[in-house]
Structure 1
Amino acid sequence: MASAPNNTESTLASFIWNNANDLWGDFPHTEFGKIILPFTVLRRLECVLEPTKDVVLNTYEQFKDQGMALDDILANVSGNPFYNKSTYNLSNLGGTKTKANLEDYIANFSENVRVIFEQFDFSTTINKLAKANLLLRICTNFAAIDLHPSVVPDRTMSNVYEHLIARFGAEVGTGSEDFMTPRDIVHLAATLLLEPDNELFEQKNGLIRTIYDQTCGTSGFLTDMMNYVDGFKDRYKVAPVLVPHGQELQPETHAVALGSMLLKKLESDPSRDLSQNIKLGSTLSNDFFSGQRFHYQCSNPPFGMSWAKDASAVQLEHKEKGLNGRFGAGLPKATDGSMLFLQNLISKLELPENGGGRGAIILSGSPLFNGSAGSGESEIRRFILENDYLESIVALPTDIFFRTGIGTYIWLISNRKPEHRKGKVQLIDATGMGSSLRKNEGNKRKFIDQDSIDAISRIYADFEESSVSKIFEYSDFGYRRVKVQQPLRMYFDFNEDNRHSFGNNKEFNKLSAVPHDNVKKYIESFADQVKSFEWFTTEFLPNFPSIKITKSFYQSLMNIFGVKSSDAEIVSFNGEVLFDNDLTDYENIPLNRDIQEYMAKEVLPHAPDAVIDSSYADAKDGQVGVVGYEINFNRYFYVFEQPRHPNEIMAEIKELSAEVAQLLGEV
């Protein structure tokens, strides 16, 4: 058996991917990943079972006809939560009945493995390879690769899976970020999430905690979290235990996650099948962990994913359960479900009396500020901040994901903040940290190296103000959107154009013949005159022909003959001041600032007649102005750069012009 190359994960992935060379010509490149991934998972499982293969076969022969529950017996003998009772493996399938023998091999796995290959639709792959006369060759290729965990550790294997997925995604033009997170980001998030509990782990050896990833992909996040606490074995006899749970939407990546979790073992319960905790389906509309809570959570939901397919279930839960459900704080626009995943995470935090919960979720920039005051997005931020769930947000460098260069952020969520963090939020600007990749991987040009992870972790732990760390009261992100109105001011102009417009007005033409003619003559009697609003109310209206002047007729007169002017009089009707809709404005006034003081300083000097519309109030607290929340990173970390002096720019232009002239002269 050939050992896997002992170097980087990408090299190992390339080593496996080279099997695709045998597929060229017989398969479109879009199918390479569908073939390579299941064979990679199969070979890794096979490598794990090899040491106890003969014992399992002997035990099966001994007990197969005795009517006993063989699953538990064979799993116990295997030393794993799965087994295979076939005499075949990838190296002995034979050249004449390869297809039948491979199908027999797969069929004789325990059920928890068979479901993996069902989700890969592996039977179809086998048939296609057999028809192309490539099945034996591919099986032989993979039989030569040693993927045992002692040779390829869990973290490396997880990276391999995701390198393959990334490469497959690049081949078919799909967004691989939908189901994978670069390992450097995972490691940073794991460190930020778990490092604050190092002292807890030290005090309570063998502490058992639950962890959940609502969009678990290939389970890389879960694996990294579990590996982190496994590191405590170097210091303690019994390391902490994280019991993983996850849910994934895509069958193929779910299948990889099942394979990964089958190989994970809990020191306190080594026979436990952890793949049973990894569910397939939409987290938003089909929550397999409804009502459950977890000590730790990690998640990288797809950026900008529409939740239209989940809308019926989500809207029903929002309506019927409110804050007793997952989405009671609000619903975002249907084009982006990120903030639904954020709410789901919060709903599953373990209760404080049971140790509390912490979560790390990776989001794009839009959840920081999308939606105005009163919108679903703003109300979700309001719920998080006013309930003191947000601990910190870390801004990551751009160009750090495989297929997008957008800015991304790690939100740290907690319902068990230490005393010095209560009511406060720490923002960390790590956009300038990290290193450049020697070779770009898609859009990924940068990575968070270990030195940067250590630095960011220290900044977070120190909880101090600096050029890259800002600490705020949660209310600093809030504001009231106040409606400001100005009185309508106008005079009246009875010029020919306005009179003609009035003659075509529907309110005027509703009148019967006699009042119609009387009104027309009355209007014509003021031809080409300009009058004040006081005249309009004291002389024009009192002497108007005998008709009932409705509000709509009154409005028509003002719309046609009225001319708005800041120098004119204020308009009122029946003692009620009318406001100019064109001058209506909205002011976002910080929550921590007095509204009247703000008006006096910021508004009234420019609009002395401006007044606040007191009817425009917040639905929750009833106070004037609708409450909104946003977190504007650029505002808090903006650094002014002195523009270059014009003389310097002019000198550079002259220098460049001289070079151009010289080049033209040479031509």
Structure 2
Amino acid sequence: MENGQLNWITGFIWNIADDVLRDVYVRGKYRDVILPMTVIRRLDAVLEPTKDAVLKLSDQLDQAGVANKHAALRAASGQAFYNGSPFRLRDLRARGNPQQLKADFEAYLDGFSPNVQEIIDKFKFRNQIPTLVEADILGSLIEKFTTFDINLSPEPIRAEDGTVRLPGLDNHAMGTLFEELIRRFNEENNEEAGEHFTPRDVVRLMTNLIFYPIWDDIKDGTYRVYDGACGTGGMLTLAQTTLEQLARERDKEVSIHLFGQEVQPETYAISKADLLIKGEGVAADNMKYGSTLSSDAFTAIVFDFMLSNPPYGKSWKSDLERLGGKTSLTDPRFQVTHQGEELSLITRSSDGQLMFLINKLAKMNHDTALGSRIAEVHNGSSLFTGDAGSGESNIRRWIIENDWLEAIIALPLNIFYNTGIATYIWVLTNRKPEAHRGQVQLIDATAIYTPLRKNLGKKNCELSAEQIQQITDLFLAFEETEQSKLFPNAAFGYWKIVVERPLRLATLVTPAKLAAFKQSAPVKLHPAAEHLAKIAGGSEPQRDFNAVEAQLKTALKADGLKLTAADLKRLRDAFTEKDETAAPVIKKKTKTGIEYEPDTALRDTEQVPLLEDGGIEAFFQREVLPHVPDAWIDHDKTQIGYEISFTRHFYKPTPLRTLEEIKADLEALQAEAEGLLDEIVSPGGELV
């Protein structure tokens, strides 16, 4: 079918909303009726040629007492679905009684097979029927969709002389029509568009990134494609189209199986309906409803290609609670052993975007030559949010140290419908080419875009076909340029070290302090306080707490008194103050030396790059000890972290102006000021 005819049909259906639904529905709710009715009419038109055969077989099975007729009726319809009601949609146009029309229409909907029932239910279309009947527009709606002025059937409509009056709509054309309707409705409701609709230009770039590097390695065979946040299914269908095209160009026979999961009911219904009306019943059955994070529908399947635009900045707290909470979570996707260390991959509950990436990594195929390739969209927080040891940092560490991260591409701002923030495409694979191993490519594509003539929500730019290819070429070249930089994996890692300094205490027991202590402390501590007053009383504080404590313990022992560690700490808190000139407080003495008690107020942390020449000790000697000679590293608290900073690697400082330029500007300002002064002050010094 020609694009002009397809656009005309799309416009016709679009105008049904204005013709029939205006004054009954607000504009933002048109989709609640038009999308499910488009699906129903298409399915109805596809089933028309075999309708009589389905009804006949259904009667025969009823007479034979067969309860489960599903498989037989599917076979009779020749499709992955059927309708066992006595009605065709066109039959319902003649109903004059609104209540009779309502009853017959509901019976007609009830006649669809279970897979269509699920679509109708997720659209919540039955909820619209009372409104349509009450406004007496259900009949008009059905008549508009079944008019002979448009043809949603795969078969052509012919004139009386047998010539084709309206061409049929094949599955591809119908899918395109449906996607165009979705796009238009998304544009009408821009606040929600980006939640389930990724711009087609971004999807095309993502498919290039996962397919182009291995297109010469595609063999005859079966490939699985997965999207764990599939929305309306656009990424999956475009990925399928791209892979099929690459296979045809190389004379390869490929069988592509699509798998997706979606948590939003309507968008799930759209994804499943889109595949059904394209004639892909098996793929439609592989679309699953529910949360990918807490109710994974594909626990035992691995995939060859995976791509997603998961929600970012969105809480996944309810999923986390269903999984058992952060401390009791046992899902193997999110708990891994890496280099002998147990790593928690649980991110903060306020943002679950990286959890979708972990889900994909758990489904990588490790048993084929191609392995798995992944493209996923994230915002900037996935690059750097989370300190060393946090879930986010551990995820980055796990990915990079396993050498799975191939590239990250920074996209132009305002390229999505509902956000203007920075977005990035992560590209991962468990089969890096030999020349790429141990390295990560960062591509700055923020300046590669075409402005839109009219904004679509917050989207004010797009990627042209040439620009998509330009970014793809940068990725494939894997070379250092102004927009492409290559880094060793370790360049993004660091040690987080804890730098301690000793606690230094001076002891002074004044009469006022002693009296206050006796009023609040237990009686058993009073003798110890008296001993401490004898040791550290007077006008000058004792600046060696270790000596004071030793004398106190000796005096207590002589009196037969023994205090607990908590009692001694209470005494210390009451009669000591921090003093930088005092001796360090000894925690314990070991065979290797003295261990001092750290001052938590002076505790600091430093990030030491993994590529630091000489490692942690060299950094410590150079950057810390010259400033605080009494510092030491608590090695038990050292952690490894990873973060990726595009700003640091692609920052272009504004060149400083020359002194001559600054001088010229100052002289110009001075001359301008003198001119203004001459205008308001007369030669005699009086105001004009």
Q: What's the TM-score once normalised by structure 2's chain length?
A: 0.81
| CA contact 1:389–1:413 (8 Å) conserved in 2 | yes
| Shift in alpha-carbon separation, 1:22–1:608, aligned structure 2, 3 A | same
What code does the residue aligned with 1:57 have? K
Q: Could you say which residue in structure 1 is the equivalent of 2:522?
A: 510
| CA contact 2:229–2:292 (8 Å) conserved in 1 | yes
In 1, Cα distance between equivalents of 2:546 and 2:216: 81
Q: Could you say which residue in structure 1 is the equivalent of 2:31?
A: 33
Q: Could you say which residue in structure 2 is the equivalent of 1:180?
A: 197
What code does the residue aligned with 2:375 have? A
Q: Could you say which residue in structure 2 is the equivalent of 1:361?
A: 376
| CA contact 1:17–1:164 (8 Å) conserved in 2 | no
Aligned to 2:323, what secondary structure does the other structure show? helix
Q: Could you say which residue in structure 2 is the equivalent of 1:219?
A: 233
Paired positions, count = 632
Q: Could you say which residue in structure 2 is the equivalent of 1:632?
A: 645
In 1, Cα distance between equivalents of 2:546 and 2:51: 107
| CA contact 1:307–1:337 (8 Å) conserved in 2 | yes
| CA contact 1:499–1:523 (8 Å) conserved in 2 | no
Greater mean deviation of Cα atoms: 602-611 or 643-652: 643-652
2:576 maps to 1:582? no
In 2, Cα distance between equivalents of 1:137 and 1:381: 56
In 2, Cα distance between equivalents of 1:658 and 1:447: 51
Q: Could you say which residue in structure 2 is the equivalent of 1:281?
A: 290
Deviations 1:545-604 (A, max 9, x none): 856576556545654554544444333366552322221111111123211001011111
Q: Which stretches in structure 1 are left out of the alignment for 5+ residues?
A: 267-271, 617-624
Greater mean deviation of Cα atoms: 116-125 or 641-650: 641-650
Q: Could you say which residue in structure 1 is the equivalent of 2:544?
A: 533
Q: Could you say which residue in structure 1 is the equivalent of 2:466?
A: 451
Aligned to 1:505, what secondary structure does the other structure show? helix
| Shift in alpha-carbon separation, 1:531–1:161, aligned structure 2, 3 A | same
TM alignment of 1:596-611, pairs within 5 A: 596-611=617-632
Q: Could you say which residue in structure 1 is the equivalent of 2:610?
A: 591
| CA contact 1:327–1:344 (8 Å) conserved in 2 | no
2:132 maps to 1:129? yes
Deviations 1:245-264 (A, max 9, x none): 11111221111111111134
Aligned to 1:570, what secondary structure does the other structure show? coil
2:96 maps to 1:96? yes
Q: CA deviation at 1:454?
A: 0.4
Deviations 1:203-256 (A, max 9, x none): x3x432111111111111111011112324763555533210111112211111
What code does the residue aligned with 2:94 have? G
TM alignment of 1:226-237, pairs within 5 A: 226-232=240-246, 235=249
Q: Could you say which residue in structure 2 is the equivalent of 1:294?
A: 303
Q: Could you say which residue in structure 2 is the equivalent of 1:189?
A: 206
TM alignment of 1:321-470, pairs within 5 A: 321=330, 324-328=332-336, 329-353=344-368, 355-470=370-485
Q: CA deviation at 1:406?
A: 1.5
In 1, Cα distance between equivalents of 2:200 and 2:668: 44
In 2, Cα distance between equivalents of 1:17 and 1:648: 64
Greater mean deviation of Cα atoms: 481-490 or 214-223: 481-490
Q: CA deviation at 1:21?
A: 5.5
Q: Could you say which residue in structure 2 is the equivalent of 1:612?
A: 633
In 2, Cα distance between equivalents of 1:571 and 1:561: 15
Deviations 1:63-103 (A, max 9, x none): 45443997667656755433446553358622515434433
Q: Could you say which residue in structure 2 is the equivalent of 1:138?
A: 141
| Shift in alpha-carbon separation, 1:78–1:488, aligned structure 2, 3 A | same
In 2, Cα distance between equivalents of 1:339 and 1:553: 48
Q: CA deviation at 1:136?
A: 2.2
Q: Could you say which residue in structure 2 is the equivalent of 1:81?
A: 80
| CA contact 1:395–1:428 (8 Å) conserved in 2 | yes
What code does the residue aligned with 1:56 have? T
2:78 maps to 1:57? no
| Shift in alpha-carbon separation, 1:78–1:4, aligned structure 2, 3 A | farther
| CA contact 1:318–1:327 (8 Å) conserved in 2 | no
| Shift in alpha-carbon separation, 1:153–1:139, aligned structure 2, 3 A | closer
| CA contact 1:349–1:357 (8 Å) conserved in 2 | yes
Deviations 1:446-485 (A, max 9, x none): 2122122101111111111122212222222111111111
| Shift in alpha-carbon separation, 1:91–1:141, aligned structure 2, 3 A | farther
What code does the residue aligned with 1:510 have? P
Aligned to 1:336, what secondary structure does the other structure show? coil
In 2, Cα distance between equivalents of 1:383 and 1:517: 55
| CA contact 2:197–2:231 (8 Å) conserved in 1 | yes
| Shift in alpha-carbon separation, 1:516–1:221, aligned structure 2, 3 A | closer
Aligned to 1:589, what secondary structure does the other structure show? strand
TM alignment of 1:97-176, pairs within 5 A: 97=97, 98-143=101-146, 144-146=149-151, 148-149=169-170, 152=173, 154-155=175-176, 157-168=178-189, 170=190, 175-176=192-193
In 1, Cα distance between equivalents of 2:308 and 2:444: 20
In 1, Cα distance between equivalents of 2:208 and 2:508: 73
Aligned to 2:486, what secondary structure does the other structure show? strand
Deviations 1:282-303 (A, max 9, x none): 1112122111111111111111
What code does the residue aligned with 2:210 have? L
| CA contact 2:373–2:429 (8 Å) conserved in 1 | yes
Q: Could you say which residue in structure 2 is the equivalent of 1:19?
A: 17
Q: CA deviation at 1:611?
A: 0.7
In 1, Cα distance between equivalents of 2:30 and 2:653: 50
Deviations 1:310-342 (A, max 9, x none): 2244347995756x4455442111111112211
What code does the residue aligned with 1:333 have? R
Q: CA deviation at 1:657?
A: 9.3
Aligned to 1:479, what secondary structure does the other structure show? strand
| CA contact 2:92–2:139 (8 Å) conserved in 1 | no
In 1, Cα distance between equivalents of 2:428 and 2:631: 42
| Shift in alpha-carbon separation, 1:464–1:352, aligned structure 2, 3 A | farther
In 2, Cα distance between equivalents of 1:198 and 1:659: 71
| CA contact 1:492–1:562 (8 Å) conserved in 2 | yes
| Shift in alpha-carbon separation, 1:561–1:453, aligned structure 2, 3 A | same
Aligned to 2:121, what secondary structure does the other structure show? helix
Q: CA deviation at 1:309?
A: 1.8
TM alignment of 1:649-660, pairs within 5 A: none
Q: Could you say which residue in structure 1 is the equivalent of 2:159?
A: none
| Shift in alpha-carbon separation, 1:657–1:471, aligned structure 2, 3 A | farther
